[in-house]
Amino acid sequence: MDIWTGTFPYTQDNSMKFNHTNGLKKIARAHQLMNDGYQNTHDNHVTTVFSAPNYCYRCGNLAAVIEVDENMKTTTMQFDPSPRRGEANLAKKTPDYFL
N-term to C-term CA, the chain: 39
Asked if residue 16 lies in contact with residue 45, where contact means CB atoms within 8 angstroms, the answer is yes
**pTM for this model (two decimals):** 0.71
Instruction: List pLDDT tens digits, range 2-51.
Output: 555 566 567 888 888 889 999 998 888 888 999 999 999 999 889 999 99
Domains: count for the chain: 1
C-alpha distances out from residue 81 to 50, 54, 63, 85, Å: 12, 5, 7, 12
- The two beta strands, 26-30 and 3-4, are parallel
Residue 49 domain boundaries: 3-83+91-98
Say what the alpha-carbon torsion angle 9, 40, 63, 24 is, to the nearest 10 degrees.
-70
